[in-house]
């Protein structure tokens, strides 16, 4: 089975924490370069490939939420994901030192 190809399109998906995500499993280094450019000053790191499902937000705060699920879950789609102060955030954001 061939996965659907998604264009790299970095979006902010966090509320209390800065989180950036794009549909599709993208090269992690390419994704991080785009995420840091799109969201400067967010100290993003920890890029990962995940499987997500879009679900309604019952709280009414948002139109929907993204939930991490297992590959093969009905309605799941591939995502590349990172968050503020994730692993190696200093390297991805060009910081040196402590």
**Tens of pLDDT, residues 38-51:** 999 999 999 999 99
Task: Determine the Cα–Cα distance for residues 43 and 98; give it in Å rounded to an integer.
Answer: 14
Tally Cβ neighbours within 10 Å of residue 43: 17
Mean pLDDT of the chain: 90
pLDDT at 9 over 60: yes
- Which regions of the chain does DSSP assign to beta strands (E)? 11-12, 19-23, 44-56, 64-68, 77-84
pLDDT at 84 over 90: yes
């Amino acid at each position: 089975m061939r996965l659907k190809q998604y264009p790299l399109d970095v979006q902010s998906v966090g509320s209390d924490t800065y989180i950036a995500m794009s549909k599709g499993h993208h090269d992690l280094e390419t994704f991080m370069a785009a995420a840091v450019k799109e969201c400067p000053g967010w100290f993003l790191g920890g890029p990962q490939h995940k499987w997500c499902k879009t679900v309604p937000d019952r709280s009414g705060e948002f139109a929907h939420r993204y939930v991490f699920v297992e590959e093969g879950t009905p309605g799941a789609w591939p995502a590349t994901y990172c968050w503020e102060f994730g692993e190696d955030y200093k390297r991805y954001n060009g910081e040196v030192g402590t």
